[in-house]
Amino acid sequence: MNLQPTLSKGQVHLRPLVSKDFRSLYAVASDSGIWEQHPIKERAELFGFTKFFAESLKSKGALLILNSKTGGTIGSTRFMLRPAFGNAVEIGWTFLSRAYWGGKCNGIVKELMIKHAVQDVDEVMLFVDKENIRSQKAVEKLDFVPKDKLIIDRNHNQRPNDIVYRVLGVG
């Protein structure tokens, strides 16, 4: 599976994250409100974001999220293969500028990523910290995922503080 595709739809453009994206992405990530319910709040600080950014580049699955009309940075997201779960990929590490919260942006990002992933994998997973109610609600409102395909599975959870959302049988 190509973990760093270029994908676009409507106002959203995804492309591979590169080192020169640091400044524009940190300008978004430095808003502490983004990380309010996230377990790693230090990502709003330069030292915490620097570590997150380096991990993102090293993953070789990170994508920059851009506004396709303005070219402005909206946030980032990432793919990660999950061989412990079979032929599966995780979509995660997503954060968006608060200017894009509550709209269609997150849904478009996930839709693009899922449509790309299901060409090569049998299962798409999202891990959300159980304290991060905002992210849980965002995942649960993704209306492009049939309700019978979206389940919460705590039995195969590798990270005890996470809820695992699985899109099954889509490959």
Strand order in the sheet with 7-9: 7-9, 12-16, 62-67, 73-81, 88-96, 123-129, 162-168, 150-152
Query: Tens of pLDDT along 11-35?
Result: 999 999 999 999 999 999 999 999 9
Q: Is 154 a residue whose pLDDT tops 90? A: no
Geometric angle at alpha carbon 98, from 92 and 99, rounded to 5°: 125
Q: Is 47 a residue whose pLDDT tops 80? A: yes
Residue 133: pLDDT band (50, 70, 90) is: confident
Residue whose pair of structure tokens reads 């980032």 in the numeric block: 76
- Residue 160 in domain: yes
- Residue 2 in domain: no
Query: Tens of pLDDT along 35-45?
Result: 998 889 999 99
- Residue 152 in domain: yes
Q: What is the pTM of this model?
A: 0.86
Q: Is 95 a residue whose pLDDT tops 60? A: yes
Q: Is 148 a residue whose pLDDT tops 50? A: no
- Residue 45 in domain: yes
Please state the domain count of the chain.
1
- Residue 143 in domain: yes
pLDDT at 126: 83
pLDDT at 61: 98
- Residue 1 in domain: no
Rounded Cα distance between 63 and 133, Å, is: 24
Percent of the chain exceeding pLDDT 90 equals 57
- Residue 95 in domain: yes
CATH number at residue 27: 3.40.630.30
Q: Is 169 a residue whose pLDDT tops 60? A: no
Q: Is 70 a residue whose pLDDT tops 60? A: yes
* Domain limits for position 133: 7-168
For residue 111, which of 153, 88, 82, 77 has the smallest C-alpha distance? Answer: 77
Residue whose pair of structure tokens reads 């974001």 in the numeric block: 49
Q: β-strand 123-129 against 88-96: which pairing, if any?
A: parallel
More confident residue, 55 or 110: 55
pLDDT at 147: 42
Letter for the amino acid at 167? Answer: V
Q: What is the token pair recorded at 28?
A: 């978004």
User: Residue ranges of the alpha helices (H) in 4-104?
Assistant: 22-29, 46-59
